[in-house]
Structure formats: C-alpha cells, structure tokens
Homo-oligomer: A and B are copies of this chain.
Amino acid sequence: MDVLTTQTLSGVQMGIEVAGTVAFALSGVIEAARKKLDAVGVCAVASVAAFGGGTLRDVLLDRRPLFWIEHSWYLWTVLALCLTAMFLMRAKHFKPTEKSMQWPDALGLGLFAASGTVIALGMQMPALIAVLMGVITATFGGVLRDMVCNQIPTAFHDHRPYAVCAFAGGWVVVALHHLGWDPNAVVALGAVTATLLRLAALQFEWRLPSWKTED
C-alpha cells in the first residue's frame, strides 16, 4: 500500500484486511464450485471476490499502486488457497452449499466495511463518501463475483440485510473516528458491528421492505 495507507493502517488493521481477503476468496471458490467452473474460473472468481471491492474503491479514489499489485504475496495467498480448496473439495466430496458461504461472507463484510471506511477517512473524504467506500469495499467483491457468474447480485435482491450492515458498521467507524478513539479500536468495533448485524439478520430472519407481489 502507498505511503498514505501505511500511515492509515496499522499492523492490526493489516491483519484484519488479510483475514477479510481470505474470507471473500473462499466465498468465491465456493460460488465457482457451485457453478461448476474450471480451475481458471475458480481462481478468477476467487480473486474477483477477494480483490474486487478494494480495487474498485482504489480506482474510484485514484489510489495507486493497488494493494495486491504492491504486495503480490496477496495473489500467491489467494492462488494457494484456491488450489488447496479445490483439492479438498475433490478429495472429500465436499458439497458446498449456500449456507456454507454465510460465515466467511459475514466476516469479510465487517472487516472490509471498516477498513474501507477508515482508508477513505484518511483521505479526508466527507462522512457519506467514506461510509459508501466502506460499503463498496465490502460488497462489490461479491457483486462482481455474482456478475461474473451471470446472476443478479445476491446483495441486491435477497431482501436480507447485507450492504445495510456494512453501512451501519461504516457509520460506527465515522462516529468513533470523530470522537478521537484509537484507530485499532475504531476498525475493530466497526467490523464487529457489521459482522454481528449480518449474523443477527440471518439468525432472526430480518427482511428488507419488499415490493408488493400480488400483481
């Protein structure tokens, strides 16, 4: 990451970013397996899911070099993860289900929402833009993953709160940041808020308001 990010993200935050990347890459592997993509497709969809949101954020904010270009071990990590996951899935006849995607997804959602918001705040973005950058970081990996897999993005139509949780976590980050809290605590609390909200939404079957479908 560039000078700005090195200043913005501490070691703790870097660790959180890596965990989020792995979580999303795994969700990409599982989705690709469900679609019966080939090995190249698995690696590509996993990479899009893992790096897509952060890359879109950085392109929109004009931050360069991109984090996965400067730190190319990110790529090696995702590549190794894909090969390992493919091997395990083949060896153990593991059938990936939609449910198995929910946990890594919720974790990545919280982690990326918080780190994306902090990065944008570090560039002196206004609050709404910073929160939106967090939401984009957290959700557009999955949105692009679904677009590549030729389906309407789950985040946009399944009526269970997803981006909304990232949105809430982002505002927690903004609020604590303006209160002058320790940056590590800010990111951690923002991430925990978004992840817990997501898990609660799944557990208690919260629903977004929907269209009347009587027609």
Contact = CB atoms under 8 A, between A and B. Distances in A.
B38 A159 contact: yes
Contacts of A210: 36, 38
A41 to B, nearest CB: 3
Copies of this chain, how many?
3
A209 B33 CA distance: 12
Contacts of A158: 38
Given A44-B156, A159-B38, A210-B38, A126 B60 contact: no
Interface stretch (A10-18, A89-97, A101-109, A187-195): A89-97
A150 B149 contact: no
Interface residues of A, number: 57
Contacts of A153: 41, 44, 148
A38 to B, nearest CB: 4
A64 B63 CA distance: 11
B152 A211 contact: no
A95 B89 CA distance: 41
A44 B163 CA distance: 10
23 contacts: A33-B211, A35-B157, A38-B156, A38-B157, A39-B208, A40-B208, A41-B152, A41-B153, A41-B155, A41-B156, A44-B153, A55-B60, A60-B66, A61-B65, A62-B65, A69-B129, A90-B211, A93-B212, A93-B215, A143-B148, A147-B150, A150-B151, A150-B152
